[in-house]
């Protein structure tokens, strides 16, 4: 239990400093500290992810950064795909799930090393499928925009069910690539989607018969929430590039460890 609490604090701190990406560490933390399978760890991880992301989303809402209509659309579509991801997770062998998760973490690590920290270039905004009017701060809603956001939400929900992750590691680069939302707005919106989809994933897991050990679930969630608050404070003292490099290194180490576990 002590190790789980320490890892929860650490993950929450990373989540607070990275804005959205640290949640991907929740499943590996439970797999290694509790000796669980990924199928056992995923629902508990989603509880912690929902709470941690929810804290960040509330801060984003308070600051007016969340594009809440877009977030609600993505979350609604994502919740429809989460049960499908869960069924596939239970159908796949544990070894394949570990290998898949390791691959996802390595992709996320590579993105941390090569991503740009600058905001989107609004001069090319009209060429993007999802265009936020800089004067009103609102999306120009049309079918391409709705389909784009729905597709991003579907991918997020499927990954939440399959791997027990919030999906922000995929959502953030897609929103950056196909919309002109500022980086702060992208992260805040992704956190709201992550919180809603993760909460929906927990409900879906319980309906499918998953058992969440109350003591470990509550302790892990509280530890992540506390770490999230600490991480938000620390993020003001460390440069964004240092956080990206450090997070990439952590992801690489954890991904390698999971590969050894899968192939050992």
Closest residue by Cα to residue 201 from 245, 256, 163: 163
Which residues make beta-bridge pairs with 130? 179
d(CA 69, CA 38): 32
Q: What is the pTM of this model?
A: 0.87
In tens, the pLDDT along 53-77 reads 898 889 889 999 899 999 999 999 9
Give 169 or 161, the one with higher predicted confidence: 161
Q: Are 77 and 226 in contact (CB under 8 A)?
A: no
d(CA 213, CA 223): 16
Both tokens assigned to 216: 């470990």
Both tokens assigned to 195: 């919180």
pLDDT at 158 over 70: yes
DSSP class of residue 120?
Answer: P
- Quote the mean pLDDT of the chain: 86
Both tokens assigned to 35: 């000796």
Task: For tokens 């809402």, name the residue.
Answer: 61
What is the rounded average pLDDT of the residues 235-263? 86
Residue 254 has a pLDDT of 92
Q: Are 48 and 26 in contact (CB under 8 A)?
A: yes
pLDDT at 124 over 50: no
Residue 96 has a pLDDT of 93
Give the angle subtended at the CA of 78 by the CAs of 147 and 162, to the nearest 5°.
125
Lowest-pLDDT range, 42-46, 214-218, 232-236?
A: 232-236
Which residues make beta-bridge pairs with 179? 130
């Amino acid at each position: 239990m002590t190790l789980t609490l320490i890892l929860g604090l650490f993950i929450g701190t990373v989540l607070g400093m990275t804005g959205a990406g640290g949640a991907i560490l929740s499943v590996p933390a439970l797999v290694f500290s509790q000796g669980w399978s990924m199928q056992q760890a995923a629902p508990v991880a989603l509880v912690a992810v929902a709470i941690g992301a929810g804290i960040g989303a509330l801060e984003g809402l308070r600051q007016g950064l969340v594009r809440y209509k877009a977030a609600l659309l993505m979350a609604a579509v994502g919740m429809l795909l989460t049960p499908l991801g869960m069924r596939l997770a239970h159908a796949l062998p544990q070894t394949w799930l570990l290998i898949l998760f390791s691959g996802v973490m390595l992709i996320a690590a590579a993105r941390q090393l090569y991503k740009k920290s600058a905001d989107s270039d609004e001069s090319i905004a009209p060429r993007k499928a999802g265009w936020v009017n800089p004067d009103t701060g609102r999306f120009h809603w049309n079918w391409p925009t709705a389909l784009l956001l729905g597709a991003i939400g579907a991918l997020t929900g499927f990954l939440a069910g399959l791997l027990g992750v919030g999906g922000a590691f995929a959502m953030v680069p897609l929103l950056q690539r196909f919309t002109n939302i500022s980086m702060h707005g992208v992260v805040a919106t992704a956190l709201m989607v992550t919180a809603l989809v993760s909460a929906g994933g927990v409900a879906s897991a319980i309906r499918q018969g998953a058992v969440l050990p109350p003591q470990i679930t509550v302790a892990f969630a509280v530890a992540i929430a506390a770490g999230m608050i600490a991480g938000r404070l620390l993020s003001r003292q460390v440069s964004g590039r240092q956080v990206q490099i450090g997070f990439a290194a952590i992801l690489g180490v954890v991904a390698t460890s999971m590969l050894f576990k899968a192939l050992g």
